[in-house]
Amino acid sequence: MKQIILIAVIAGIAALLPFVIGDSPYFIGVLISVLMMAALSSAWNILGGYAGQYSFGHAAYFGSGAYTTMILISKFNFNPLVSMVAGIIVACIIALITGSIVFRLRGHYFGLASIAVAEIVRLSALNFDFTGGAQGILLTDVTLWGLDLNSKIPFYYGMLLVLVLTLGITLYLRTSKTGFYLQAIREDQDAAASLGINLSFYKNKALLISAALTSVLGSLYAVYIRFIDTSAVLDLRLSIEIILTAIIGGVGTLWGPVLGAVLLVPLAEILRSNVIGDALVKHGVVSETSGLGVFLKENLAHAHVLVYGIITVVCILYLPKGILGFFRRVK
């Protein structure tokens, strides 16, 4: 109950944010990224955190949502919501195929197999013609119920809605039979099986929920950006970012993935948009024309992945249960 109120309060504050900060497209854009990564990471957390099945291939579901939606809208003029549902179906089919292969495996093999499936999906999208190949797909025009889809606001609330939905499902699962079964599977598969839990049924159930939510986010993202290619929506890097966000916040906790996204996405944004480099130049710490200034300007934007790497290493070594897990232990 306490958690439901907390979700409602935080969602309420988030819903009011656009009114507070005004309609600065830049800040709304960053907030959309935060909400999206929080939702992606929370959806992954259902499978990875609660069922203990670390999928390293979640980009496949994000990408299937994004690609299905874009193909249906741009080539067949489908309604965006219908194509989003189609995306869920495609993602679920891929999830079922993946599940039937990878859930027979454990430990190292599970992670490796999930990468292999995601890479097959990525390379197929890259090599087929109907997916636009290396050029990707561009969407020129899209309409839905007279909403202004050129504005970022509808997507902000769309992402927020999916995040609240994901957190709600997580909360429900936590206290339901399925949730307890999943946690039993995470703690000890053999013990869970010997108590009569149908391992592959419950693992597949968690994967399907997780994949469907991830696919919805992929569809939203695609219509929001209006351009997708394999490196944006199907890359292994995306799968890894999703996991890192959950790890850094706290795997298997309700709020861990959200906390991870709130910390990491703005950090990446700061590095990417060169705020630090510009500030150093502006305050005269380094001159713009000096060697260091030029180097910072050209390269700092690439450094956010490096910072991700450093944070991951530090986190695994010193905070293996993430930030929330760390505080829970202290308590």
Partner 1 sequence: MFFLQSLLSGILTGGVYALAGIGMSLVFGVMNISNFAHGDLMMLGMYLAYFAFTLLHIDPYISLLLIIPTAFLFGFIVEKVFIHRIISHPHQNQILLTIGLGLIMSNTALLAFTSDPKILTTSYSSSAVHILGGISLSVPLLLSFTITCGITGILFLFLSKTTTGLALWATSQNREAAQLMGINVAKMSAIAFGLGTALAATAGALIAPTYYIHPMAGHTFLLKAFTICVLGGLGSVVGAGVGGIIIGIVESMSSTYLSSDWKDVVVFIIFLVVLLLRPQGLLGKKGEQ
Give the footprint of partner 1 on this chain (CB under 8 A). 48, 54, 56, 101-102, 104-109, 111-113, 115-117, 119-120, 123-124, 126-127, 236, 240, 243-244, 247, 299, 302-303, 305-306, 308-313, 316-317, 320
Which CB sits closer to partner 1, 226 or 272? 272
Q: Could you tell me the two tokens for 100?
A: 């039937």
Nearest distance from C-beta of residue 194 to partner 1, angstroms: 19
**Three-class HEC string of 244-307:** HHHHHHCCCCCCHHHHHHHHHHHHHHHHHCCHHHHHHHHCCCCCCCCHHHHHHHHHHHHHHHHH
Which residues fall within 8 angstroms of residue 188, CB to CB, at 6 or more apart?
none
In the chain, count of helices (H) and strands (E)? Answer: 16, 2
d(CA 192, CA 205): 16
Beta pairing partners, 227: 138
Helix, strand, coil share of the chain (percent; to 5) = 80, 0, 20
Is the CB of residue 31 less than 8 Å from the CB of residue 263?
no
Q: Tell me the C-alpha distance between 257 and 245, whole Å.
A: 6
Give 75 or 104: the residue with its C-beta nearer to partner 1. Answer: 104
Q: How far is the CB of 294 from partner 1 (least distance, A)?
A: 13
Specify which residues 137 forms β-bridges with: 228
Which CB, 80 or 229, lies closer to partner 1? Answer: 229
Shortest Cβ 14–partner 1 spacing (Å): 29
Give the residue with the Cβ less far from partner 1, 109 or 172.
109
Length in residues, the chain: 331
Decide whether 92 or 115 has the Cβ nearer to partner 1. Answer: 115
Is residue 239 within 8 Å of 56, Cβ to Cβ? Answer: yes
**Minimum gap (Å) between residue 20 Cβ and partner 1:** 35
Q: Cβ 261 to partner 1, closest distance in Å?
A: 17
Residue with structure tokens 């089919």?
A: 93
| In contact, 212 and 223? CB cutoff 8 Å | no
Choice between 164 and 311, CB closer to partner 1: 311
Taking residue 67's Cβ as centre, other Cβ atoms within 10 Å add up to: 30
Cβ proximity to partner 1: between 227 and 295 the closer is 295
Q: How far is the CB of 229 from partner 1 (least distance, A)?
A: 16
> What is the closest distance, in whole angstroms, from the C-beta atom of residue 215 to partner 1 in the complex?
21
The answer to whether 266 and 30 are in contact (CB under 8 A) is yes
Closest approach of partner 1 to the CB of residue 203, in Å: 15
Tell the smallest beta-carbon distance from residue 118 to partner 1 (Å). 9
Whichever of 30 and 126 has its CB closer to partner 1, that residue is 126
User: In the complex with partner 1, which residue's Cβ is closer, 105 or 191?
Assistant: 105
User: Whole-angstrom Cα distance, residue 328 to residue 25?
Assistant: 37
